[in-house]
Amino acid sequence: LTKSFQLPAASMSVFTITSMLTTVVFYDRLFVPMARRFTGLDRGITFLHRMGIGFAISTLATLVAGFVEMKRKHYAMQARTMPGHGSLSFVWLVPQYGLHGVAEAFMSIGHLEFFYDQAPESMRST
């Protein structure tokens, strides 16, 4: 943000958590009701579809991370040859952390509902 502002590396997980919590809200309030209209299922889409969406978004996040790493390496090479260049902003990392949060939301919901659905009645909690 500014040249004097430094974000600790451990604080980057706040972007994952924020995007995950936001996705859960949108998932429950918007995605499921919309999917119900198209599929006729109470849950909107099946558990495996949810996990598949999570895997696809996770793959996209990994691709974004790869492109950001290529940009970072290019930037580091320029900084070495051109003295006075600053470091790359942490904002470049926000999209991949955000996408991982969205993927985690889909995967977590899908996993928990799948396991609960497949567990015997005697092992389920209320």
In angstroms, the CA 60 to CA 67 distance is 11
- Write the DSSP symbol of residue 7: -
Domain ranges of the chain: 14-118
Per-residue pLDDT for the chain (126 aa), expressed as one digit of tens each? 566 777 788 888 999 999 999 999 999 999 999 999 999 888 889 889 999 999 999 999 999 999 999 988 888 777 666 665 666 788 889 999 999 999 999 998 888 888 888 888 888 776
